[in-house]
């Protein structure tokens, strides 16, 4: 990689406004994410977090500006295929679609085709199956390969969906509220999975309502409130009782232990 490529951010946003029904649902002044950098987007319901992610994935477009508001690796009109190859996305939307009796191996191999299972005419090479087996192994769920996905717990399905993204070897993993609906065991494993991927050198972009999801590897947090970037900076500066109370508009107390954060209500 040349020096110029190394310093070009993975994503760059400048003066991006997303308008729906005559209302600005997100405005971002300036934001840049470096290659390999991790960030957590935190904020209340309806703040604009998912819209922010959709700006990056080009599922929504900002208002036109003379200077293009969103750039991917310096390009203002990137190929969608390049973005798709670079990003892996784990969200509850995909989880909701897991309603078919298929072996876990087929679900994971399906990631190579962008389908939920292996397409009828899909020709799965030995290498494809080996990639899928390797992804399952790295996430510590190799023993699930032959299981019917419909028989798994919610937490196991979510990790299978991470493996499904990993077969394409994306440099960036976006986790959109990955722990929603999971019990403590499921949360433990999903958070550990995020740590594994961060340690492999991939960017982890996390969208969450809860500081508990922010793994120690993520140092930067982007707080979003009322369709604006409320703050962008170091976790140690922003995950404080004062800032969280202001972000969520209720009195809250932040705790920290061994790089992990927690949030509880400050009841009088």
Ligand X SMILES: Nc1ncnc2c1ncn2[C@@H]1O[C@H](COP(=O)(O)OP(=O)(O)OP(=O)(O)O)[C@@H](O)[C@H]1O
Q: Are 90 and 161 in contact (CB under 8 A)?
A: yes
Which residues lie across from 231 on neighbouring strands?
A: 223
Minimum CB distance to ligand X smaller for 54 or for 245: 54
Q: How far is the CB of 134 from ligand X (least distance, A)?
A: 33
Which among 175, 174, 205, 231 has a CA at the least distance from the CA of 47?
Answer: 231
Q: Which is nearer to ligand X, 134 or 177 (CB)?
A: 177
Q: How far is the CB of 228 from ligand X (least distance, A)?
A: 11
Cβ nearer to ligand X, comparing 5 with 59:
59
Q: Measuring CA to CA, which residue among 178, 215, 222, 213 is closest to residue 42?
A: 222
Nearer to ligand X, 47 or 161 (CB): 47
CB closer to ligand X out of 12 and 51: 51
Minimum distance from CB of 61 to ligand X (Å)? 12
Phi, psi of 39 (to 5 degrees): -150, 145
At its nearest, how many Å lie between ligand X and the CB of residue 60? 8
| CA–CA dist 55, 173 (Å, integer) | 15
Q: How far is the CB of 49 from ligand X (least distance, A)?
A: 4
Q: Residues interacting with ligand X, by CB under 6 A? A: 20-21, 25, 43, 45-51
């Amino acid at each position: 990689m040349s020096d110029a490529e190394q310093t070009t951010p993975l994503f760059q946003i400048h003066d991006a406004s997303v308008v729906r029904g005559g209302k600005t649902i997100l405005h971002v002044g300036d934001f840049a994410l470096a290659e390999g950098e991790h960030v957590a987007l935190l904020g209340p319901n309806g703040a604009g977090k998912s819209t922010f992610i959709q700006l990056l994935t080009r599922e929504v477009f900002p208002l036109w500006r003379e200077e293009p508001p969103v750039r991917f690796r310096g390009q203002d009109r990137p190929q969608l295929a390049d973005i798709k190859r670079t990003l892996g996305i784990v969200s509850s939307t995909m989880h909701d679609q897991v309603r078919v009796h298929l072996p876990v191996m087929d679900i994971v191999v399906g990631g190579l085709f962008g389908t939920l299972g292996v397409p009828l005419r899909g020709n799965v090479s030995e290498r494809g199956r080996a990639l899928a087996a390797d992804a399952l192994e790295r996430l510590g769920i190799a023993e699930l390969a032959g299981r019917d996905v419909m028989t798994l717990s919610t937490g196991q399905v979510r990790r299978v969906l991470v493996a499904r993204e990993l077969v394409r070897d994306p440099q960036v993993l976006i986790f959109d509220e990955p722990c929603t609906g999971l019990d403590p065991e499921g949360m433990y494993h999903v958070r550990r999975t995020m740590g594994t991927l961060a340690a492999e050198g991939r960017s982890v972009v996390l969208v969450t309502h809860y500081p508990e999801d922010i793994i120690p590897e993520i140092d930067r947090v982007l707080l979003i409130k009322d369709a604006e970037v409320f703050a962008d900076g170091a976790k140690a500066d922003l995950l404080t009782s004062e800032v969280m109370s202001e972000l969520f508009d209720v009195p809250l107390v932040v705790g920290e232990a061994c790089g992990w954060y927690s949030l509880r209500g400050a009841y009088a």
